[in-house]
Amino acid sequence: MIGWDFSVFWEIGRAVLEGRSPYAVEFSRYPPATAFFFVIFALLPFAPAFAAWTGLNVALFIHRLRRMKLGLGGWLWLLYTPFLFNILTGQLDILFWWATLGLRPPRQPSAPLDSPGDLAPSMQDQGSWIPALAAAFFTLKPQLAAVVLPWYLVRWLLHERPLLLRWAVITAVLHALPLIYDPGIYGKWLAALTGVSEMKMGVSGGIFAFGSVGVPFWLLAVIGLALAAWGLFQDELTSRAAQLTAFPITIWYDDVLLAGIGPVCWMVAVSWLAFVGAYLLESSLPLVAIPVAALGWLLWWSYGRKYR
User: Given this model, what pLDDT does residue 110 score?
Assistant: 45
Q: CA-based angle 49:68:133, to the nearest 5?
A: 60
Task: Please indicate, yes or no, whether residues 3 and 132 belong to a single structural domain of this protein.
Answer: yes
Nearest CA-CA partner of 168 in 135, 127, 128: 135
Task: Please indicate, yes or no, whether residues 214 and 292 belong to a single structural domain of this protein.
Answer: yes
- Is residue 32 one of the residues assigned to a domain? yes
**Using one digit for the tens of pLDDT, what is the confidence trace for 1-55?**
789 999 999 999 999 999 999 999 999 999 999 999 999 999 999 999 999 999 9
Biggest alpha carbon–alpha carbon distance for the chain: 62
- Is residue 110 one of the residues assigned to a domain? no
Q: Which of 135, 165, 194 corresponds to the end of one domain?
A: 194
Domain count, the chain: 2
- Is residue 87 one of the residues assigned to a domain? yes
Task: Please indicate, yes or no, whether residues 134 and 19 belong to a single structural domain of this protein.
Answer: yes
- Is residue 276 one of the residues assigned to a domain? yes
- Is residue 124 one of the residues assigned to a domain? yes
Task: Please indicate, yes or no, whether residues 144 and 244 belong to a single structural domain of this protein.
Answer: no
Task: Please indicate, yes or no, whether residues 31 and 180 belong to a single structural domain of this protein.
Answer: yes
DSSP, collapsed to helix, strand or coil, labels residue 51 as helix
The residues, any chain, with a CB within 8 Å of residue 163's CB and separated by 6 or more, are: 106, 128, 131, 132, 156
- Is residue 100 one of the residues assigned to a domain? yes
Task: Please indicate, yes or no, whether residues 40 and 186 belong to a single structural domain of this protein.
Answer: yes
User: Given this model, what pLDDT does residue 122 score?
Assistant: 44
User: Given this model, what pLDDT does residue 134 score?
Assistant: 96
For residue 208, give its domain range.
201-308
> What residues in the chain have per-residue pLDDT under 70?
108-127, 304-308
Task: Please indicate, yes or no, whether residues 212 and 184 belong to a single structural domain of this protein.
Answer: no
Task: Please indicate, yes or no, whether residues 182 and 222 belong to a single structural domain of this protein.
Answer: no
Task: Please indicate, yes or no, whether residues 9 and 133 belong to a single structural domain of this protein.
Answer: yes
Task: Please indicate, yes or no, whether residues 35 and 161 belong to a single structural domain of this protein.
Answer: yes
- Is residue 168 one of the residues assigned to a domain? yes
DSSP 223-234: HHHHHHHHHTTS
Task: Please indicate, yes or no, whether residues 182 and 226 belong to a single structural domain of this protein.
Answer: no
Q: Which of 143, 160, 194 corresponds to the end of one domain?
A: 194
Q: Are 139 and 174 in contact (CB under 8 A)?
A: yes
DSSP H stretches of helix in 69-195: 81-89, 93-99, 129-138, 142-159, 161-176, 178-181, 185-192
Q: Are 164 and 135 in contact (CB under 8 A)?
A: no
Q: Which of 176, 194, 212 corresponds to the end of one domain?
A: 194
User: Given this model, what pLDDT does residue 64 score?
Assistant: 95
Nearest CA-CA partner of 275 in 291, 286, 264: 286
- Is residue 111 one of the residues assigned to a domain? no
The residue count for the chain: 308
Task: Please indicate, yes or no, whether residues 83 and 128 belong to a single structural domain of this protein.
Answer: yes
